[in-house]
Amino acid sequence: MKKIDEYQGKKVLVMGFGISGINAAHLLVKLGANVTANDKATPKNNDIVDDLEADGIKVITGDNPISLANEGFDVVVKNPGIPYDNPLVAAFVKQGTPIITEAELGWQIFDGHLVSVTGSNGKTTTTTLTQLMIAENAKHQVKYAGNIGISFSKIAEDLGPDDTLVTELSSFQLLGAPTIHPHIAIITNIFSNHLDYHKTRENYINAKLNITRNQTKDDFLVINWDRDEWQKIAQRSQATIVPFSRLNKSHEGSYVEDGMIYWRGQEVMPTKDIRLIGPQNVENALAAIAAAKLSGVTNDAIKKVLTTFSGVCHRLQYVMEYQERLFYNDSKSTDIEATEVALQGFDRPVILLAGGLDRGYTFERLVPYFKKHVKAMIVFGECKDKMKDAGNQAGVPVIESENAITAVPEAWKLSEPGDVILLSPANASWDQFPSFEVRGDKFIEAVEELTGKKEQ
């Protein structure tokens, strides 16, 4: 941990009691700040409040009182999910109070080698693969943190100048990280996500590009080279560009040719040996390989990771095989693009479980994928009628169910040996579940109840 005095004697407001917010509040006390912690909700667990107060932190819950804007805070550390049009946040913006996220705080105290990953899809898998690959050859600590569910600042406290940290960073985190400077930045892809938060696609792209804002030619931006738009986006960085591509050969980075992965013209391994399924995981592997090779990782270490790693929870996660049916949990597919990619990963008939929060869009884009890959659909949630319409257009049998749990036995009834039963909702979970993780966990529990087996 780097010793800094930036917060000594400063008055700091931490907004949000998530994992990152709580860790940030305690860290700021260590850094000499006078800390107030605020959450709009009242925590069900009193231990959270007790621990904060025991550290000398003033705690305010149950509201974001606008009066806090008049208390002379020097800095606000905001939970990334709190939008900037929140009245209290908007008041701080108006008066020019610096607003950062916990990722910025983590960067300020970090004293090692930083690799950061962002993108619309594939962030967590790419982050995990990158960390595992670098760790295979490392003589020092290699950890991961960030949007992957582990506090950046908490891990950064325990790392030294020879250690490496691989961070997954969302667009929400990056908006509040003005000085973050990874030596290696990765952009997996950019689609049109979170426009309810960012308002426009350009705002969303600009937020993602904050990952490379402070990079120089001595740093590296590893970026997907499979779309012209992404190639143009790369031109906005000052870093040395390292492309990765499943479709376009580029000797400057990692790519696929005739079923073989190459790094700068040298063979690494066949794509068929990657344990993770689907073209999206070839792309995730290519991105991780580029970062790993830039970090001095051997081909043997890369092969070991890619031939053994079976996936991150809820991201096209293999659950089990039962009576010649394969079950996959892809609850993290909360948008159309992710479900498109998931379906392309299978050469077996798929029984698709899909639906969720109605965000106002329809699903015609999925019709060609339904026609090619799906033998039947179970739909649920607020948007089930729209999902059913797309299934009908594709000529796929569709039945309705209450949710992702009740859909499991319905899918089993429709299945035959050789089929895949896939939860890939193409929608957020919030109409029925508090998060995609809970939705995925409940799906796995339903599969285990159906089969009488535990997840493999």
pLDDT tens track for 167-185: 999 999 999 999 999 999 9
**What pLDDT, on a 0 to 100 scale, did the predictor assign at position 195?**
75
Please list the residues that pair with 222 across neighbouring strands.
186, 242
Please list the residues that pair with 261 across neighbouring strands.
256, 269
Interatomic CA distance for residues 88 and 79, integer angstroms: 13
The yes-or-no verdict on residue 454 having pLDDT over 80 is no
| CATH architecture, range 11-100 | 3-Layer(aba) Sandwich (3.40)
**What pLDDT, on a 0 to 100 scale, did the predictor assign at position 91?**
98
**What pLDDT, on a 0 to 100 scale, did the predictor assign at position 455?**
63
Q: Whole-number mean pLDDT of the chain?
A: 95
Residues of the chain with CATH 3.90.190.20: 317-451
For residues 387-403, give the mean pLDDT: 97
CATH code, residues 103-308: 3.40.1190.10
CATH code, residues 317-451: 3.90.190.20
Query: Is residue 310 very low, low, confident or very high in pLDDT (cuts 50, 70, 90)?
Result: confident
Residues of the chain with CATH 3.40.1190.10: 103-308
**What pLDDT, on a 0 to 100 scale, did the predictor assign at position 148?**
86
Report which of residues 278 and 416 the model is more confident about.
Answer: 416
Interatomic CA distance for residues 335 and 333, integer angstroms: 6
- pTM of the shown model: 0.81
Query: Is residue 278 very low, low, confident or very high in pLDDT (cuts 50, 70, 90)?
Result: confident
